[in-house]
Amino acid sequence: MSVQVRAVLTATNADVLNGTDLENLPGAGFMAVLAASTVADTTMTITGRGFEVPVRNIPLPLRANGQPSEADDTPVAFFVPAGGKVLVGITEVTAATIVVQAMWMGMEEAASL
């Protein structure tokens, strides 16, 4: 089983996954987050409750429409334990359109890749 969400933002957001199907993770698994922005001064921070994800203020790829390129942009990928919570924060300095795509995949599905 996998769960995917997509968010389109135009302002800073401290918890992009809030209110989505990934607000509370279904269990232990693998998570990947891909994002891009229409301006070069947008950053992303990913933290985990119950585990550590070392992503702090990384600049997002610059894309004309804000849509990340699955072929050219590298996702941030990491393991999440059962009961974990992932907080994806986006900070924009200049007005922008930002697209964030997040996917969670259960352990069994991830092991079969």
Q: Note the Cα 35 to chain centre separation in Å.
A: 7
> Residue 34 belongs to what domain range?
2-111
| CATH number assigned to the domain comprising residue 90 | 2.60.120.380
Burial 62-93 (b: 16+ CB within 10 A, else e): ebeebbbeeeeeeebebebeeebbbbbbbbbe
Number of domains the chain contains: 1
pLDDT in tens, 53-99: 779 999 999 999 999 999 999 999 999 988 888 999 999 999 999 99
Calculate the average pLDDT of the chain.
92
Predicted model pTM: 0.92
For the chain, report the end-to-end CA distance as a whole number of angstroms: 13
pLDDT in tens, 8-24: 999 999 999 999 999 99
Contact partners, residue 61, CB within 8 Å, separation at least 6: 35, 36, 37, 68, 69, 72, 73
